[in-house]
Chains A and B, each alone.
Chain A
Amino acid sequence: MSGVISHEFEYLKPKNLDELVDFLTQYKTKAKILSGGTDLIVRIKDGFESPEVLIDIKGIGELKELKFNGNSLFIGASVTFNELIDSEVVRERYPLLWEASKSVASTAIRNRATLVGNICSAVPSLDSGPALLDYEAEVILKSRNGERKVNINEFFLGPRKTVLKEDEFVYGVLIPFINRKNGSAYVKLGRYNGEDLAQVGIGILVVEGKEYRVAHCAVGPVAARARKVEQLLNGKDLNDSLIEEAKKLIVEEISPITDIRATKEYRIHMAKIMLERGLKAAVDRLNGKGPKYGERLI
């Protein structure tokens, strides 16, 4: 169903956070928060969502903030992927997030789609997932009762399910800055070079001192870190036999399904190859070599 929207709803546009909190307190699950709308509007058209109220948060200045304070980066709820891509700070200091953002859809979608919207949709294939997991981001949730911070590792509960409570909203995401040399890579499998949803996504972050962070998306119900692989790698120099062991281990950490986009078998096969290529690219980048960020890795 991709035509008109016949479902009726009320549209509210709070001017500030207080108004937003009031609306959420009042409407709870009857309301949906609208920012870019690139996922939500399609779901309303398809009949998967029928909110009574849409709360457009683009009128709230605070939520548009993208701030770096030397220790961490704050990404407000209505910051778009293109704003992340255009940000010097993101490009220089959070290249994994930058690379992942570049892989999202196409320009006109990225001009609207937000990172916070991406995590709130909580689809298994979310491109921002591996980067946020590797950077150990915190999600800032707010409601009438105040604020709480949830580690991104605990944020996702299942496909399209998060810890967000019915009167809560995501205020923004806080990403700590890693003040050590690091290299990273987001490797994404699509059916072709044009925009596609990830069939497998692997995000690698290698920090000076042989620290490895590995996360994946689209190969399980939620995006997650591959802890066993990290344990294996940590403290070691990358070599072929270590990579082979890591490839065996990642299979234990993922649980992909067969769907129209790829078979389980191919997802497993590719997760191994992408892990290998991602690790090599991240280490090369750490050492100032390798492909430029944003270049296609598979």
Chain B
Amino acid sequence: MEELKFVGKDIPRIDEKEKITGAARYVDDLDFGPNLLYAEIVESPYPHALIKKIDTSEAEKVEGVVKVVTGKDFPFKFGLYMKDRYIFAQDRVRFVGEQVAAVVARDPKIAQKAAKLVKVEYEPLPAVFDPLEAIKEGAPIIHPELGQYSHVPWFFPKGGTNIAHHRKVRKGDVEKGFKEADYVFEDTYKIPRYAHCCMETHISVAYYDLSGRLTLWNSSQSPHVQKALIADALSPLGITEKDVRVITPYVGGGFGGKAGVTMEVIAAALAVACKGNPVKVRWRRDQEFYNTYMRQQVISKIKVGVKKDGTITAFQIENFWDAGPYVEYGANVVNASGLSATGPYRIPNVKIDSYCIYTNLPAAGPYRGFGYSEMLFSVESHMTRIAKAIGMDPVEFRRKNAIREGDSLAYGAPMNPNGLIEAIDKVAEEIEWGKKEESKDPKKAIGKGFAIFWKAPAMPPNVSTTAFLKFSGDGSVNILVSGMEIGQGYHTAMAQIAAEILTIPIEKIRVELPDTDRNPYHWQTVASHVTWASGNAVKRAALEARDKIFEVVSRAYHFNKDSLYLENGKVKCYLKPDFELDLKDFVINGIMKEDGYYVGQNIVASGQFFVDFCSALQDPETSQGGHPNVHYTVGAAAVKIEVDKETGKVKILKAVEAIDCGKAINPLNVKDQIIGGLLQGLATALYEDMRFDKNGKILNPNFTDYKIPTSLDIPEEVVPIIVEVAQPDGPFGARGMAEHPMIPAAPMIANAVEDAVGVRIKALPITAEKIALALAKGEKEPDYYWHIMK
């Protein structure tokens, strides 16, 4: 392989200078002039109630109030995978904080004051907050019309119940597998809800101009999907996709929370109601917690059979997902993770039931790791316990059962090339697995924990992306894509890929943030697939540009195209060593021949990537038959911790994580993704969780009581390790890795805590409090779970 000059290099981020000088503009930083209106939302105080009457008259009288909008103004549904949600509540509310009405005013203070004057009469209904309760006979039915909702063909809602989707996977014969096993281990694990906590809250400014054009400026991971979903939701008003434009400047963090559509559709509706004025809806931090998405709670019942030699013979899991009252996106989390619920193991007999359950807690959905961060807690906790129970080293157990290239997945398709074993070995070596260590402080104990993981991009089977590439007269390049730079380093990676093909320095490349009018289609920036998919599109665009460049030069100089190559931004010829032509000399204006006539063309190019090798249509009873996932990214991780046996406090002495990203387009960025993502995961393991009161109201919608880690809470040492087993269809062999760092965090902490002090915690988070109380009371498997406070 030729030596790469840009790909695989630690190129500094191309967006960094804007960010450190404050030049980077986020939606709230844009000016919209004195006509800008501000919205305040009237929210439901009940978790489940019928709306009897809304009186907006007092609010409308307030000077400065432009409009008060309620559900009757917009009786329209929206949703990505399942249309189960209205822009504003119609006849009933289903969670505390749901939008019932909005006041639009000239000033945010006026809007806030007037919103308090909107009177809503409710008739409270029984509510349910526990997914296991919600599927019992006689539970309150949250969506009586579920059977009539439209949804993607690979979902299976059960009308008349609270089950919005049930993903079943059946492979081999699980009962036979349990019979073949020497030991069968069974347990239940609980994973609470978590919040993304992007530093920038959701914001949308929508402007419906007097001609009927709708433009939105959103903090979003999904400009094109938002354009489509918002146009679809408002289509009864005659709005079509061509008339909707979504502009997405820099985003202050995404992590899945800004995927799909949440509050942006409210801004769009309000703008339509206030034609001619831009309307701003900015979530306060508390709203950010309860009215975007959270991560879903899951109760995981797992049963695994193994032989004495450690071979896994059977795997059965039931994951009960609390998706909240609207599953329009969250149902796909349940679906995707259901397909992959075994974790990265080769298992002949598998039975998976992944239930998406409606509850009256706020809506939940995608969060970095998309189901895998949640469900692998039970799998990876369980695997370590099984290994210990049969007297096998947990790392050896994983090595023995780890999935390998070509192995059949739970749904029958083959596993892609991967470096899982290499990752396991490198992590084990770095953490000095097997070496027992003792704390100098007799009150403290040191333990190590290990976990492996995988994740496939969870996407529809027909994901599409396009890149445009255009030259300017000085030879510099603008690349137009609609993946989002949400902090992961996407723009830099795209610039590196284009630079590699075009041999021009990174400084001459600009990658443009999305504007759906200008930038071509890209599905969404989710699922850790943009480096792979958009990277392929950018590479193809660059190759097309290169081809056009050679075309022009060969026509002007009569060289054979095949004899031309690029070097340092100049066209050169293998056959004419003294020939060189700088790109800037002709990419716009062409090449003048001796007779004064020109040969040329303005060099612009496009590249596309469309997934045409997947199918999500599988047998609904077994999930066999299709090919729902493009590929898996795998990895392994371990921690060394010190636990204070009295206080229960956990100190992370060292964390190691290896991920097989196929090819690190930018190793520095890959390593920094691992460091940052791992801390986000460690926080879910150690102290974050959403708490609700007995009426389903969030108790900690703020950073005072939802503790996201500070600089004082980072591990003493983090060692990121890059593994590169090429993805055959990836750009330069790359596949995505940005969600993955957080996935192994929780189980490896649980495993390390048990290793250190002999306490097995099966409900997240693994707080100092849980550890200390268990130790004080001599409990080996404490059952503390404080998701709903009594």
Q: Chain A interface (Cβ within 8 Å of chain B)?
A: 1-6, 189, 191-197, 260-263, 265-266, 269-270, 273, 298
Distance in angstroms from B693 CB to nearest chain A CB is: 9
Say yes or no: A193 contacts B713, CB within 8 Å: yes
Determine how close the nearest CB of chain B comes to the CB of A52; give it in whole angstroms.
Answer: 16
Q: How long is the Cα–Cα vector from A6 to B114 in the complex, in angstroms?
A: 10
Contact B647 A1 (CB under 8 A): no
- CB contact between B707 and one of A1, A194, A265 (< 8 Å): that residue: A194
A1 contacts which chain B residues (CB < 8 A)? Answer: 284, 286
Which of B702, B713, B769, B773 has the most C-beta atoms of chain A within 10 angstroms of its own C-beta?
A: B769
Which A residue's beta carbon lies closest to that of B769?
A266
B404 sits at the interface (CB 8 A): no
- Complex interface: chain A residues within 8 A of B691 (CB): 260
Inter-subunit contact A3/B108 (CB<8 Å): yes
B456 to chain A minimum Cβ distance, whole angstroms, is 33
Give which listed residue, A192, A261, A269, contacts B772 with CB less than 8 A.
A269
Task: Give Cα A5 to B647, complex, Å.
Answer: 40
Q: Which residues of B contact A194 (CB under 8 A)?
A: 707, 709-713
A-B residue pairs, 6 tightest by C-beta: A194-B710, A193-B712, A6-B112, A6-B109, A266-B769, A3-B284
Number of B residues near A (Cβ < 8 Å) is 34
Q: Which B residues touch A269, using CB under 8 A? A: 772-773, 776
A-binding residues in B (CB < 8 A): 108-110, 112-113, 282, 284-286, 644, 646-647, 649, 686-687, 691, 699-700, 702, 704-705, 707, 709-713, 767-769, 772-773, 776, 789
CB pair B789–A195 under 8 Å, yes or no, is no
Let me know if A4 and B707 touch, CB within 8 A. no
Docked pose: A265 CA to B779 CA in angstroms? 15
**Would you give 27 A-B contacts (Cβ < 8 Å), ordered by A?**
A1-B284, A2-B285, A4-B108, A4-B109, A5-B109, A6-B108, A6-B109, A6-B112, A6-B113, A189-B647, A191-B687, A192-B686, A192-B707, A192-B710, A192-B712, A193-B710, A193-B713, A194-B710, A195-B710, A196-B707, A197-B704, A260-B789, A265-B773, A266-B769, A266-B772, A298-B647, A298-B649
Q: How far is the CA of A189 from the CA of B700 in the complex (A)?
A: 19
Q: Which of B109, B286, B707 contacts A2 (CB 8 A)?
A: B286
Q: Which residues of chain B are near A192, meaning CB under 8 Å? A: 686-687, 707, 709-710, 712-713
Kindly state the separation between the CA atoms of A270 and B110 in the bound complex, as whole angstroms: 47
Cβ contacts under 8 Å, B772 to chain A = 266, 269-270
- Who on chain A is nearest to B110 by CB? A6
Sample of 4 more A-B contacts, CB < 8 Å, known A191-B687, A260-B700, A266-B772: A193-B710, A194-B712, A196-B707, A263-B769
**Cα distance, A193 to B644, chains bound together (Å):** 14
A152 to B430, CA, bound (A): 55
Are B707 and A191 closer than 8 Å at their CB atoms?
yes
- Chain A residues contacting B644 (CB-CB under 8 Å) are 298
Task: Give every chain B residue within 8 A of A3 (Cβ-Cβ).
Answer: 108, 112, 282, 284
CA–CA, A193 and B679, complex, Å? 14
A263 neighbours in B (Cβ, 8 Å): 769, 773
- Quick check: B646 and A273 within 8 Å, CB to CB? yes
Chain A, residue nearest B705 (CB): A260
Chain A nearest CB from B468 CB (Å) reads 39
Q: Does B284 contact A2, Cβ atoms closer than 8 Å?
A: yes
Measured CA separation A1–B284 after assembly (Å): 7
The reply to whether B712 and A266 form a contact with Cβ atoms under 8 Å apart is no
Residues of B within 8 A of A6 (CB): 108-110, 112-113
User: Would you give the shortest CB distance from B252 to chain A, in whole angstroms?
Assistant: 16
Contacts of B699 in A (CB 8 A): 260
Could you say which residues of chain A place their CB within 8 Å of the CB of B646?
273
Q: Which residues of A contact B710 (CB under 8 A)?
A: 192-195
**Chain A residues with CB under 8 A of B769:** 262-263, 266
Q: How far is the CB of A11 from chain B (nearest CB, A)?
A: 15
Taken together as a complex, chains A and B put the C-alpha atoms of A298 and B284 apart, in Å, by 35
Q: Would you give the shortest CB distance from A180 to chain B, in whole angstroms?
A: 31
Tell me the complex Cα distance, A262–B286, Å: 21
Contact B647 A270 (CB under 8 A): yes
Give, as a whole number of angstroms, the nearest-CB distance from B263 to chain A.
14
CA distance A263 to B699 in the complex (A): 15
Give Cα A5 to B111, complex, Å.
Answer: 11
- Shortest Cβ distance from residue B603 to the other chain A in the assembled complex, whole angstroms: 49
A136: min CB distance to chain B, Å: 30
A273–B773 alpha-carbon span in the complex (Å): 12
Q: Are A2 and B702 in contact (CB under 8 A)?
A: yes
Task: Provide the residues of chain A in CB contact with B776, threshold 8 Å.
Answer: 269
In the complex, are the beta carbons of A4 and B112 less than 8 A apart? Answer: yes
Which residues of A are found within 8 Å of B110, using beta-carbon distances?
A: 6
List, in ascending order, chain B residues with CB within 8 A of A189's CB: 647
Residues in A with CB closer than 8 Å to B707 are 191-192, 194, 196
Known: A196-B707, A266-B772. A273 touches B286 (CB 8 A): no
Residues of A within 8 A of B647 (CB): 189, 270, 273, 298
Per the bound structure, the CA–CA distance linking A193 and B712 in Å amounts to 6
Cα A261 to Cα B649 with chains together (Å): 15
Residues in A whose Cβ lies below 8 Å from that of B700? 260
Complex: A2 Cα to B284 Cα, angstroms = 6
Most buried by B among A2, A5, A261: A2
State the CA gap A237–B647 with chains docked (Å): 25
Taking CB atoms, residues of chain A closer than 8 Å to B113 are 6
Q: Which residue of A lies closest to B767 (CB)?
A: A191
Q: How far is the CA of A178 from the CA of B646 in the complex (A)?
A: 33
Residues of A contacting B282 with CB < 8 Å? 3
User: In whole angstroms, how far apart are the Cα atoms of A269 and B704 in the complex?
Assistant: 23
By a CB distance below 8 angstroms, the chain A residues around B109 are 4-6
- The complex places the Cα of A173 from the Cα of B218 at a distance, in Å, of 50
For B108, what are the chain A residues with a Cβ–Cβ distance below 8 Å? Answer: 3-4, 6
List, in ascending order, chain B residues with CB within 8 A of A262's CB: 769
- Measured in the bound complex, the distance between the Cα atoms of B647 and A133 in whole Å is 25
Instruction: Decide if A266 touches B773 in the complex (CB within 8 Å).
Output: yes
Query: Using Cβ atoms and an 8 Å threshold, which residues of chain A touch B773?
Result: 263, 265-266, 269
Nearest CB of chain B from residue A169's CB, rounded to whole Å: 27
Among the interface residues B646, B700, B709, which one has the most CB atoms of the partner chain A within 10 A? B646
Name the residue on A nearest B644 (C-beta). Answer: A298
Q: How far is the CB of B294 from chain A (nearest CB, A)?
A: 16
Closest CB in chain B relative to A108 CB, distance in Å:
13
Chain B residues contacting A270 (CB-CB under 8 Å) are: 647, 772
* Shortest beta-carbon distance from B556 to chain A in Å: 62
Give the chain A neighbours of B284 by CB distance below 8 A: 1-3
List chain B residues, Cβ under 8 A from A195: 710
Alpha-carbon gap, A114 to B458, bound state (A): 51
User: Which among A3, A197, A265 has the greatest number of chain B C-beta atoms within 10 A?
Assistant: A3
A219 to chain B minimum Cβ distance, whole angstroms, is 14
Residues of A within 8 A of B686 (CB): 192
CA distance A270 to B700 in the complex (A): 23
Whose C-beta in chain B lies nearest to the C-beta of A261? B705
State in angstroms the CA–CA spacing of A38 and B476 once bound together. Answer: 50
Instruction: List the A residue with the shortest CB-CB distance to B114.
Output: A6
- In the complex, A166 Cα to B15 Cα: how many Å? 55
Q: How far is the CB of B279 from chain A (nearest CB, A)?
A: 16
**Contacts of A265 on B, CB cut-off 8 Å?**
773
Kindly provide the distance from the CB of A155 to the nearest chain B CB, expressed in whole angstroms: 25
| Closest Cβ–Cβ distance, residue A8 to chain B (whole Å) | 8
Contact partners of B789 in chain A: CB under 8 A? 260
Contacts of A266 in B (CB 8 A): 769, 772-773
Complex contacts, A298 vs chain B, CB 8 Å: 644, 647, 649
A266–chain B nearest beta-carbon distance, Å:
4
Q: Closest Cβ of chain A: how far from B449's Cβ, in Å? A: 19
What's the Cα separation between A197 and B702 when bound, in Å?
13
Report B10 CB to chain A, min CB distance, Å: 30
- Distance, CA A265 to CA B775, complexed state (A): 13
Task: Please measure, in the bound complex, the distance between the C-alpha atom of A195 and the C-alpha atom of B712, giving whole angstroms.
Answer: 9
Distance A197 CA – B407 CA, assembled complex (angstroms): 51
* Shortest distance from the beta carbon of B698 to any chain A beta carbon, whole Å: 10
* B643 CB → nearest A CB, Å: 13
A237 to B285 CA separation, bound complex (whole angstroms)? 51
In the assembled complex, the CB of A51 is this many whole angstroms from the nearest CB of chain B, namely 16
Nearest-neighbor residue (CB-CB) of A296 within chain B: B712
